[in-house]
Structure 1
Amino acid sequence: MTAGPRTATWREPGRDPGERAAALIAEMTVAEKVAQLSGIWVGAAEAGGVAPHQHDETADPVDLDALLPLGIGQLTRPFGTAPVDPQAGAASVAATQRAVTAANRFTIPAVVHEEILTGLAAWRSTVYPAPLCWGASFDPQLVRRMGERIGASMRALGVHQGLAPVVDVARDLRWGRVEETIGEEPLLVGTLGAAYVRGVQSAGVIATLKHFVGYSAGRGGRNMAPVAIGPRELADVLLPPFEMALRAGARSVMPAYNDLDGVPATGDPDLLTGLLRERLGFTGTTVSDYFAVAFLHKLHAVAGDRTAAAALALRSGVDVELPTVDCFGPPLVAAVESGAVDEADIDRALLRVLRQKIELGLLDPGWEPDAPGPFDLDPPESREVARLLAERAIVLLTNDGTLPLRPDARVGVVGPRADDPTAVMGCYAFPVHVGGQHPDVPIGIEVRTLLDALRTALPDEVPFAEGCPVLGGDDTGIADAVALARDVDVCVLALGDQAGLFGRGTSGEGCDAVDLRLPGRQEELLDAVLATGTPVVLVLLSGRPYDLSRQADRLAAIVSGFYPGEEGAPALAGVLTGRINPAGRLPVAFPGAGTVQPGGPGAPLTGPSEVTSVDPTPLFPFGHGLSYTPVTWSDATAGGAEWATDGTLDITLTLTNPHDRPASEVVQVYLRRTVADVVQPTQRLIAFARVDLAAGARRTVRFALSADLTAYTGRGGEKVVTPGGAQVLVGASAADVRTVVDVELVGERRVVGVDRVLEAGVSVG
């Protein structure tokens, strides 16, 4: 084959990307078209536990020599499959791109994608806090800054697409991927997810929303389990974060692994075409989750073979199969040639793929891959953002006055999370996700442990005993911890999760929990240390909340850090010693005694009841968090007692910091409907504002609440704003309500669409 003419329509940068893409498609063979609709994962066989059991063993082996002349759609994880020096990796990617463009007759480069959930998943790259920790910050501006840093690293290395953010709403705390969610309230998830998208894509790269839609609601909290929720829960709880992130400009969407009421998302045209494209107006690319197209045949059994799976996914709206050539390969070509698949379906997906490559500049004349280097993937600017976000997100749950630690106190440290640098990292952080398969390779970045940080922060010697591992251990280790605790004034006990994949941890993808007791013997260790009578400060480094109801009232203090990243240990030490004023708020509630899911803001029943023997009241509610310098609130006032169904309600309050050090507060606004057409949550978050106050400062916070924020899915399946009674609750958590404003929604019943207002107007003066 010879190269296409350099003056072809599709080469002209001034033309519309869609027009250019269509012109190129007209010149391509079926095999060349299909080649653009999948990735190539070089080294996947050596990836080990990065994606075990998932590949279809009946698939044909990948023959790179045969594929290159046809073109390559995507390169899968060249930095995130094994530890690769950034300079060498960038040079290798550039060389591969040159080989790809030289071999295919249209010189089309590949899109390079990587995981970016807690930063770019590459060796020596910054490990930021996990998404649940973003949620604890309640700080969209800071999350956007993090996204900007991640996007800049991607662009520097030649990476075009990142597989994040996860905008699933946490629904069952037993699910291993709760750590990847931003929280349990749709507004919080959507606001921070949209901020992350804007940050990443500001660098000219692509963010990918995961997982569309319902994945977090699997039965029993099991990964990839069937989802059997109603249409209102889907529309009013799980879908809004996707809507918000799509409005932010997200250019790619990944369908979920699960089936929704028996229909797998990867093969659901109503979901991927009817809802995502026709109703929500999405025009970007859909990329399958890894091996999910083959799963239509292999796991879901809704397709008889890989060819049928490819046809179903393609017709439903999947544009690209990841991570490597399988169903969207020779089986799909054969299906088109036999007439089993319409070539128009190939062209529809290809138009989106090529348009995106054109928008990335990959088909402009003169495009060349480069690897200038040298690369610093963990520069001071990135570490600073990681530090600020970690400090913003540490949550002080209880404190009897033991914190901050007295300078003269003899402090001992116990626990399996105290002296492990990976204790602050989620399962998609490179040192956990990939580095765990390469124990002989250094971690690649500076990560201090909590023990290291406390020994630096405290003036005297700090003794340490592990007590027990996260899983396993023996009586001797617990006895050593007890002996240490008896000999100090305060015991800092660091417990929690080991992030991992597919059963190699206690939190993370494929690491679901049967209950919410602390893993292994950690609860036994906690009880034994408490029995010494020494004040115990529990530091929880985990990917989910755990049931602490049996110990909470005996602990001197509880501090929660949801995988706060590479700067997390100094942030935790700063809170413990008082250098940092704790400012985090819970993005998910902690369960009460014996429950697996607390009765948080979205629950239909709260508190003790005669109709059930289970009390769903959370131990610590959504939005909860203490400070060393509590802010003084004034009563919130409303602009009136009536709220027009097509109007806006103004809420105003004043915060004052009477202390001699800075403070930070998160003002939360909840809606409770007293009359509605269908059952509504007891309350749901409709606005929030992170407010920083200098020493002695006084600030006024104003919310402009559009009536659209009261919309819900009515009996006819449409989003409606209805007249009737309501309460607006303003407070510091879902349970700490400072002001209740009774209002009456007045006016006509309104049907609202995808263009409705999704966020309140917020001003802080």
Structure 2
Amino acid sequence: MTLEEKQAQLVGYWVDQGDEVVAPMSGEKKTSTRYEEATSDGLGHLTRVYGTRPVDPLERARWLWREQRRLQQETRLGIPALVHEECLTGLAAWQAATFPTPLAWGASFDPELVEEMGRAIGTSMRALGIHQGLAPVLDVIRDPRWGRVDECISEDPLVVGVLGTAYVRGLQSEGVHATLKHFVGYSASQAGRNHAPVHIGRREIEDVLLPPFEMAVREGGARSVMNSYTDIDGVPVAADPFYLDEILRERWGFDGVVVSDYFAVDFLRSMHRVAADAPEAARLAITAGIDIELPSPDAYTTLADQVRNGSLPQHILHRAAGRVLAQKEELGLLDADFTGEPAGIDLDPPGHRDIARRLAEESVVLLSNDGILPLDPSSPHRIAVLGPNADSTEALMGCYSFVNHVLAHHPGTPAGIALPTVLESLRAEFPGAEITHAPGCEVESPDRGLLAAAVAQAEEADIAIVVVGDRAGLFGRGTVGEGNDVESLELPGIQRELVEAVVATGTPVILVALTGRPYALEWALPALSAGGGVLTGLGAVNSPAPATEAEAGDAARPAAAFQAFFPGEEGGPAIAALLSGRVSPSGRLPVSLPRSAGAQPYSYLRPVLGGRTDVTSADSTPVRPFGFGLGYTSFAHEQLTVDASVPAGTVFHASVIVRNTGTRDGVDVVQLYAHDEIASVTRPLAQLVAFQRVALAAGASQVVRFEVPSERLSFTGIDGNRRIEPGRIRLWVGPSCDDEETVATMEIVSSDDPLSP
């Protein structure tokens, strides 16, 4: 291969980008090379062939097949291009299924279903000749003000790692490579601002932010990684060999490819200001370990000349080219008959919609219920369905859905898939009810002109269902999503005013929050009981502590509240089924429900001084804790038993009896937490070490067993080395991180394991 042929394998080309600006500064036309000229020596990647504008999938697949044949026949080496697409909530292409957003995956606590979804997405991608997906996002949530929270799975690294790895397994089982993003630190940016600097210590990076990536690499076999845009302690990750080479490749043994986030190489010059020009930006990035520049060449077209003039060692170029060619060989692109023209494609078949429905149903979290739910669909209710998200399809989907990411630029173009709204779904679920609708307000607008009509409908109704929340978009074109960071965690616009005005009518209100981040909803929720359960008409559900009238507080609030994190194309029917009781709620909060923006950043993984104490007047206690979620039945957790002692580096066993103590069938998410009581560095008061979804009939019980690697209790010691320290561990099972319903202790003892001191 010539230097130019190697260089050509290290860049993508965005054939459909046109004049649409998809990221800040991407509008600068730095790449003026015509496509035919850019591919004369071959090409590494074709960028978003299906996901840039609405194109007929079958026609586009046929074009792609012809283009790949051209690269085989008309370039000297005959190497086809690798095709990549976004696939965070399903393949981001016109007419493709849209699944719930990753924050909803986290709320489901269901890795098996997430893996099933990954396989379904992979089948669609492979059928279209796509080889690599830019997902999953493994950033651990550190601050809900950050706009990209809707792309994340959880604030807990174990949940992120387990579900993210499940997605990787599912996607890659269909021959499509997953890309882990954003490696690393992106979600810990200053004040939750996109691309902002990261000011955190090495221990937080090692113990919280890196583990999900390590799990997806070591256990999931992920084949691609994408860098973070941010800098950590002044060094941009895109130019830092410590993360991209020393940790990723040397420590973990990763042997796949590292691709740049879009424009990240040029950002070394234009935003981080650590490179004077494009050649220097390219040299920094490829030396650090970025093999491929995406989406189009801004800097890597200088690599061949840099090798010639001696500014770049030739082995660096060879190293990256070798990794890319190895990936193409692994994917079958070097085979003579690697692809064929498709005969027909259905990107939203019934099987995909079934997965989307089940995941949506499992992900919705019931935050409160005074006994009004479930509603009897056979009763002749008069229901006022209110709120700006009640009859919105866009409100069901996240920022990286095709509808919100691409079709927002093409008004008038149909979605290409069925997207029943909450309003339409309620009419189907409650055919005997008299249902009226008024939006009450817009998502963001301060205009109160629509408020009176909604209040009037509520006054005439038996029940008001108020659907509020977010509108996902990009860079200011929404209330959440990439570039849509916030200073307040109040509901956007006047939506809180709408809810409070409807509550003031005296009509029972059911609040449904369709959002991409957790909002400060203390005003809408009753207080938790002393044992951690929520006060309901049935007592404190999921808690043994009794409810008292004094604890109930102000009754002028919604009678019930649901939290739904962008539940996808089947989200409307899922919410309707949960309201009617046809499906019992089983979602659990994958992120703490915040008290206020002023309490951020906050994580349940906090030491003693990271929460409410007597030495500060500020209270960061969340309104609902991590792991919280109600159902239409109650569960008791009893007789937790664990191994009395376990050598460091081995597996320990735990078991607990789970009883359905209510009168309805239901699903519990059994959560096992741990606390290292005395350690050489401060440790979290609660740390999730295992979880399991368990379905139980009313009155039934089951012994739930866990086999837990003791490495989950490891941490970075004072000397900077990861270790499992001997000592006493307190473990418990409860309905959230804050509720120790049944407790046991275990002793970790020294062993010959390298993690043991």
For the criterion TM > 0.5, the same-fold answer is yes
**Structure-2 change in CA distance of 1:282 and 1:309 (3 Å):** same
In the alignment, which residue of structure 2 is the partner of 1:579?
582
Instruction: Give the superposition deviation at 1:49.
Output: 4.1
Map of 1:358 onto structure 2? 329
Matches within 5 A, 1:206-221: 206-221=177-192
Equivalent residue, structure 2, for 1:12: none
Report deviation, 1:95: 1.5
CA apart distance, 1:387? 0.7
Sort the Cα spacing of 1:60 and 1:525 in 2 relative to 1 into closer, same or farther, 3 A: same
Structure 1: runs of 5+ lacking an equivalent:
1-27, 757-765
Alignment-derived partner of residue 145 in structure 2? 174
Answer yes or no: is 1:444 the counterpart of 2:447.
Answer: no
Measured in 2, the distance between the counterparts of 1:544 and 1:357 equals 37
Aligned-pair CA distance for 1:56: 4.4
Q: CA deviation at 1:97?
A: 1.1
Question: How far apart in 2 are the matches of 1:243 and 1:105?
Answer: 39
**For structure 1, which segment, 285-294 or 400-409, has the greater mean C-alpha deviation from structure 2 after superposition?**
400-409
Mapped pair 1:253 → 2:225: yes
User: In the alignment, what sits opposite 1:623?
Assistant: 627
Asked if residue 489 in structure 1 is aligned to residue 450 in structure 2, the reply is: no
Aligned to 1:6: none
Sequence identity (%): 50
| Residue in 2 that maps onto 1:300 | 272
Between the aligned partners of 1:189 and 1:115, the Cα distance in structure 2 is 19
Please state if 1:519 is matched with 2:492: yes
In the alignment, the residues of structure 2 paired with residue 659 and residue 602 of structure 1 have an alpha-carbon distance, to the nearest angstrom, of 31
User: Are positions 1:732 and 2:738 aligned together?
Assistant: no
Shift in Å at residue 359 of structure 1? Answer: 0.8
Rounded to whole Å, the distance in 1 between the matches of 2:465 and 2:438 is 11
Structure 1 segment 568-717 matched on structure 2, within 5 A? 568-593=571-596, 595-597=598-600, 599-604=602-607, 605=609, 608-640=612-644, 642-657=645-660, 661-717=664-720
| Compared CA separation, residues 347 and 647, structure 1 to 2 (3 A) | closer
**Are the aligned partners of 2:637 and 2:733 in contact in 1 as well (CA < 8 Å)?**
no
Find the counterpart in structure 2 of residue 15 from structure 1: none
Query: Aligned equivalents of 2:466 and 2:413: distance in 1?
Result: 29
After TM superposition, the runs of 4+ consecutive aligned structure 1 residues lying more than 4 A away are: 658-661
Residue 255 (structure 2) aligns with: 283
2:389 aligns to what SS in structure 1? Answer: coil
Task: Give distance in 2, aligned partners of 1:266 and 1:649.
Answer: 39
Greater shift in the superposed pair: 239-248 or 91-100 = 91-100
- Of the three residues 161, 167, 172, the one matched with 1:196 is 167
Q: 1:368 Cα shift?
A: 4.8
Aligned partners of 1:56 and 1:291 also within 8 Å: no
**Which residue does the alignment assign to 1:266?**
238
Q: Confirm or deny: 8 A CA contact 1:284 1:352 kept in the other structure.
A: yes
Measured after TM superposition, the shift of residue 742 of structure 1 is 2.6
Give a deviation string over 1:9-64, Cα, whole Å, max 9, x none.
Answer: xxxxxxxxxxxxxxxxxxx1101110000000012124x2433432544x241222
Aligned to 2:748: 745
How far residue 695 of structure 1 moved from its aligned partner, in angstroms, is 4.5
Q: Distance in 1 between matches of 2:199 and 2:596?
A: 27
Asked if structure 2 preserves the Cα contact closer than 8 Å seen for 1:62 and 1:325, the reply is no
How many angstroms does 1:697 deviate by?
3.5
The Cα offsets for residues 580-620 of structure 1, whole Å up to 9 and x where unpaired, read as 10010110010125644375421223653221121111101
Compute the displacement of 1:205 (Å): 1.3
Whole-angstrom distance in 1 between the partners of 2:127 and 2:117: 16
Alignment-mate amino acid for residue 323 of structure 1: P
Distance 1:216 1:507, change over 3 A: same
Q: How does 1:103-122 map to 2 (within 5 A)?
A: 103-122=74-93
The residue identity in structure 2 corresponding to 1:524 is E
Note closer, same or farther for the CA distance 1:269–1:526 as it changes in structure 2 (3 Å cut): same
From 409, 412, 415, the counterpart of 2:384: 412
1:267/1:667 Cα in 2 relative to 1: closer, same or farther (>3 Å)?
same
Instruction: Give distance in 1, aligned partners of 2:473 and 2:43.
Output: 31
Corresponding residue SS for 2:242: helix
TM-score, with normalisation over the residues of structure 1?
A: 0.92
Aligned twin of 1:530: 503
| Residue in 1 that maps onto 2:355 | 385
Greater alpha carbon shift after TM alignment, 701-710 vs 421-430:
701-710
**Equivalent position to 2:397, from 416, 425, 437:** 425
Structure 1 match to 2:47: 76
Give the counterpart of 2:725 among 695, 699, 722: 722
Q: What's the counterpart of residue 19 of structure 1?
A: none
SS in 2 for 1:541: strand
1:399 pairs with one of 336, 354, 369: 369
**What is the RMSD computed on CA atoms of the aligned residues?**
1.7
Paired residue secondary structure (1:278): helix
Structure 2: distance between partners of 1:500 and 1:577: 31
**SS at 1:135 equivalent:** helix
Distance change >3 Å, CA 189–CA 310, structure 1 → 2:
same
Hey, what's the Cα distance between the residues in 1 that align with 2:282 and 2:493?
43
**What SS is found at the alignment partner of 1:431?**
helix
CA-CA distance at 1:737 after TM superposition: 2.2
Contact 1:172/1:596 (<8 A) preserved? no
Q: Report whether the alignment pairs 1:371 with 2:341.
A: yes
Q: 2:27, 2:311 → 1: CA distance?
A: 25
Gapped regions of structure 2 (runs ≥ 5): 527-556
130-139 or 658-667: which moved more?
658-667
